[in-house]
């Protein structure tokens, strides 16, 4: 595995990055293994406006200027970790990833606003930032189905504003709509409007993925998604998923797609 720290820090390049990013150490390592990938990591992700999710044993892989993030799929796990003193002081932010899946207790899925409120109290008491990322799959728990396997749009849950109000950073997990660019942009636009109305100081991110739920997208699709939404957001959560218990529909990771996407962003940002 190529270390994501196998590059010389380039403060001047990193400082020019126009977007806030969120990414994990696995994705950074995959990117660093691509041709020219170490330079992409240094430019885009070695910045104080990058949030890098890292297990405790991978904290050394977080670029030196980035903020390390600890990720919890449930408030129960978060509370237990803080209570046992297992949250390393090197972390600067906490991500609460509440989804309609086996890793989030059903009680939390049914009451996300309440549990995000508790998470905010706990995280802020430790002087850390809270990153809220309620998944769009929560509509399957919070809304009445309109037909077999069909539910109203996520925004009808009404949870975006109340959760954004207590968070420091809010990420809309819109990546599942990347194959439908108009719907992707509409969700980002609507969520950003509701979130910022509730919390004007909020940092708002949108999700991008090289393989959302196993579906194929191209670097051009990602570039288009950014072009459609860049004026609406502060940045993006870039996912490079592979098949795992967290994404059973995914197949092999596709870091080359992310590398081409980032190189294209560099070209479009050049004067």
Structural domains of the chain sorted by starting position, each given as residue range(s) with its CATH number in brackets: 11-269 (3.20.20.60)
Residues 256 and 268: beta-carbon distance below 8 Å: no
Is 32 exposed, middle or buried (CB count within 10 Å of its CB: 0-12, 13-18, 19+)?
buried
Q: Could you tell me if 132 and 170 are in contact, meaning their C-beta atoms sit under 8 angstroms apart?
A: yes
Identify the band that residue 246 occupies on the pLDDT scale cut at 50, 70 and 90: low
Distance between CA 69 and CA 78 in Å, rounded? Answer: 13
* Alpha carbon distance 101, 151 (integer Å): 16
Which band of pLDDT confidence, cut at 50, 70 and 90, is reported for residue 95?
Answer: very high
Q: What is the pLDDT of residue 54?
A: 98
Q: How confident is the model at residue 247 (pLDDT cuts 50, 70, 90)?
A: low
For residue 221, give every residue at least 6 positions away whose Cβ sits within 8 Å of its Cβ, in sequence order, or none: 178, 179, 181
Q: d(Cα 65, Cα 50) in Å, to the nearest integer?
A: 8
Residue 268 confidence (pLDDT): 85
Average pLDDT over every residue of 133-141: 97
Indicate whether this model's pTM tops 0.75.
yes
């Amino acid at each position: 595995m190529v270390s994501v720290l196998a590059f010389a820090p380039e403060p001047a390049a990193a400082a020019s990055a126009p977007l806030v990013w969120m990414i994990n150490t696995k994705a950074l390592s995959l990117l660093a293994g691509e041709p020219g990938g170490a330079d992409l990591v240094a430019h885009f992700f070695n910045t104080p406006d990058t949030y890098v999710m890292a297990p405790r044993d991978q904290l050394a892989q977080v670029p030196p200027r980035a903020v390390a993030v600890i990720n919890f799929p449930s408030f129960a796990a978060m509370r237990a970790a803080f209570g046992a003193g297992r949250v390393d002081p090197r972390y600067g932010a906490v991500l609460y990833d509440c989804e309609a899946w086996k890793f989030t207790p059903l009680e939390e899925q049914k009451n996300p606003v309440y549990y995000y409120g508790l998470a905010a109290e706990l995280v802020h008491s430790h002087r850390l930032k809270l990153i809220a990322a309620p998944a769009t799959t929560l509509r399957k728990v919070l809304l009445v189905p309109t037909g077999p396997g069909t539910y109203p749009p996520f925004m009808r849950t009404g949870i975006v504003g109340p959760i954004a109000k207590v968070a420091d950073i809010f990420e809309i997990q819109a990546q599942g709509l990347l194959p439908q660019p108009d719907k992707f942009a509409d969700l980002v636009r609507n969520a950003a409007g509701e979130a910022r109305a509730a919390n004007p100081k909020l940092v708002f991110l949108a999700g991008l993925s090289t393989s959302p739920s196993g579906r194929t997208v191209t670097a051009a699709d990602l570039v288009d998604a950014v072009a459609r939404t860049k004026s609406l957001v502060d940045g993006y959560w870039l996912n490079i998923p592979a098949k795992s218990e967290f994404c059973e529909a995914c197949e092999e990771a596709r870091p080359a797609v992310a590398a081409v996407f980032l190189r294209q962003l560099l070209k479009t940002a050049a004067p």
